[in-house]
Amino acid sequence: DSGAHVPALVVGTGYGGSVAALRLAQAGVDVHMIEMGMAWDTPGSDGKIFANTTSPDVRSYWLRTRTKQPISNFLGYPLDKDVPRHTGILDAEEMGQIIVYQGRGVGGGSLVNGGMAVTPRRENFGAILPSVDAAEMYGTYYPRANATLGVGTVDPAWFESADCYQFARVGRKHAERSGFPFVFVPDVYDWDYMEKEAAGTVPRSALAGEILYGNNYGKKSLQKTYLAQAGATGKVAISPLHKVTSVAPAAGGGYTVVIDQIDTTGTTTATKTVTADKVFFAAGSVGTSKLLVQLKATGALPALNAEIGKGWGDNGNVMCGRANHMWDPTGKLQASIPCGGIDNWTAGGAFAEVAPLPTGIETYASFYLSITNTPHRAEFTWNPQTGRADLNWQTAWKQTSVDMARTIFDKINAKEGTIYRTDLFGAYKIWGDHLTYHPLGGAVLDKATDNYGRLHGYAGLYVIDGSLIPGNTSVNPFVTITALAERNIEKIIATDL
C-alpha cells in the first residue's frame, strides 16, 4: 500500500530477484517483490494457465496487438496474427535494431524459456566475469544454483529410443559426421515427467510443443523452485501487475520507490509510493538498465557512475535452419525442450543448441540457436526528447555471429550435401539475426557496481540480475545469473544487514 515501509524491495521476479528474495527471507528479512507482469496462477477458458506455441492467443504477448513470433514465416507464409492487447507472457521488445525477447510475470524469463541450464566450461569463465573468483563459483555457487533450480539431464538410454528426440539424434549424427562434439545439455524440465508424457500416462507439456508462452506441466520454472521456497518462509510478498517507475533517496534515510499499478490492458490504475531500506534491481538486463539510465539522467540518482548503461550484449544469439534430405526426417513429434548442443566454441566461437521445430508435421528441417563469441557491445542512453532509453545496437554487428555459426553449419551442409532453409525468418532469409533471447549487461559487475553488485554512489542499492554480466556467457545464461546472484547475496547478507 502507498505509504508503506519495507526493509527490502526487489524490482522483478526473475532469477536474480528470486535468489535475493529467498536468501534475504531465510536471513530473517521481510521482502516485498514488485513484478510488472501477471501472477500466472489462474487457468484461462481452456482450463490451462498457458497458451500453446502453435496457437498464440491473448495470453501470449506483452501489450502488442499482433504476435511477433521468433520464427516469423514457414514455407512462404507469414505466421503472425492479430491478438488483443494484453499483459501477456512474452515481451518482444523492440530496442532500436534488435528485438529482445523477455518473460513477463512472476518468474520472469523462467516462464517462457527453454529451461536449458548450462554451466560454462571453466576455462571460459575468466572471460565471462573477470573479477569473480572461479574457484568459489565452481566449488560453491554453481552447485548451489543447479541444486536449487532442479537441473537434470535426459536419460541417455531413453534419449536413444524416444520418438520426440529424433530431431536431436539427427542433429547429433550430422554434427559428429562433420567432426564436431555433440554434448548433452542439462535442463530444468522434469525428465521423469517427460518420459511419462511419452508413455501417455500424464497430460502433455513438452510433447504438446509448449514453449515460449509457458509450460503447463513439466518445466520447473522459478514458481516451482526458488519462489516456492521463498513463499514458504512466510516473509516474501509479491505484487504482480505493479511496475517500478522511480527510486530516489528518501528524506529520512532509505529510498522512496514509486510504483504504478496497471490493469491487464497496461493502463495505470493507481500510483503508489513506498519507502525501502534496501532496493534490489532485478528487472532483467533491459529493465534494470533502462531504469538506471533514466534515474541517473533525470536527477533521481545523479551520483550513479558513468558505467551505467554500458557493456550490453546479445550473447551472440543467431538462429538458422537446415533442410535435410528425405532420408533424414526430424520427426512429427518433437519435444519442445532441447537436450543437446554442438560445441565449437574454442575453434569457431560458436555453441549451437540443436533446437526443436514442434510444428506437429514432418518438416525435414534441423533448427539451431547459436550462442557466439561476438565482441560487439551496445550502450543504453537516456533520450530526453522521447522520454525513453535508447540502445545503440546495430543489426550489421550480427554478421560476426553469423560467421561464427557458419563455422559449424557450412561444414555440415558441405558434408551432408544440404542447404540452409530460407523460409523461416522471411522470404529468402537464412539467418535469424534480428533478435536475442539472452540480453546481458548494462550495469556491469565491478564497473557500475562494486564486485558484489552494490551500486556505486548509493548505499543500500543493488543490482542482482543479468545486467551484471558484460554481454556474453558462452552458453545459455540463467545458471550463471543465478550462481552470481547466490554469490553476491551471501556477501551482502553477511556484511550489509
What amino acid positions are annotated as catalytic residues?
Answer: 353, 438
**Of 34-42, 161-169, 189-197, 425-433: span binding ligand FDA (CB under 6 A):** 34-42
Shortest distance in whole angstroms from residue 22 CB to ligand FDA = 13
Residue 108 in the binding site for ligand FDA (CB under 6 A): yes
Is there a contact between 335 and 356 (Cβ–Cβ < 8 Å)? yes
**Of 39-47, 278-286, 402-410, 421-429: span binding ligand FDA (CB under 6 A):** 278-286
Residue 358 in the binding site for ligand FDA (CB under 6 A): no
Shortest distance in whole angstroms from residue 76 CB to ligand FDA = 25
What residues between 381 and 440 interact with ligand FDA by CB under 6 A? 437-438
Is there a contact between 264 and 241 (Cβ–Cβ < 8 Å)? yes
| Site string (478-497) toward ligand FDA, x via CB under 6 A | x--x----------------
**Paired strand residues for 281:** 11, 463
User: How many residues belong to the site for ligand FDA (CB under 6 A)?
Assistant: 39
Is there a contact between 245 and 427 (Cβ–Cβ < 8 Å)? no
Residue 50 in the binding site for ligand FDA (CB under 6 A): no
Shortest distance in whole angstroms from residue 444 CB to ligand FDA = 13
Residue 171 in the binding site for ligand FDA (CB under 6 A): no
Nearer to ligand FDA, 102 or 166 (CB): 102
| Site string (203-222) toward ligand FDA, x via CB under 6 A | ---------x----------
User: How does strand 350-355 pair with strand 365-372?
Assistant: antiparallel
CA 380/CA 98 separation, integer angstroms: 13
CA 196/CA 194 separation, integer angstroms: 5
Shortest distance in whole angstroms from residue 107 CB to ligand FDA = 7
- Of 59, 68, 104, 434, which lies in the binding site for ligand FDA, with binding defined by CB under 6 A? 104
Nearer to ligand FDA, 153 or 413 (CB): 153
Shortest distance in whole angstroms from residue 432 CB to ligand FDA = 12
Nearer to ligand FDA, 285 or 418 (CB): 285
CB-count exposure of residue 160 (10 Å: 0-12, 13-18, 19+): exposed
The DSSP line for 399-455 is HHHHHHHHHHHHHHHHHHT-EE--SSSSTT---B-SEES--B-SS-TTTTB-TTSBB
- Enumerate long-range contacts of 162-166, CB under 8 Å, 24 or more apart: 162/195, 162/198, 162/335, 163/198, 163/331, 163/333, 164/194, 164/198, 164/206, 164/207, 164/331, 164/333, 164/334, 164/335, 165/335, 165/339, 166/329, 166/330, 166/331, 166/333, 166/334
Positions touching ligand FDA (CB under 6 A) are 11-16, 34-37, 101-105, 108-109, 112-116, 212, 243-244, 282-285, 287, 291, 437-438, 465-466, 476-478, 481
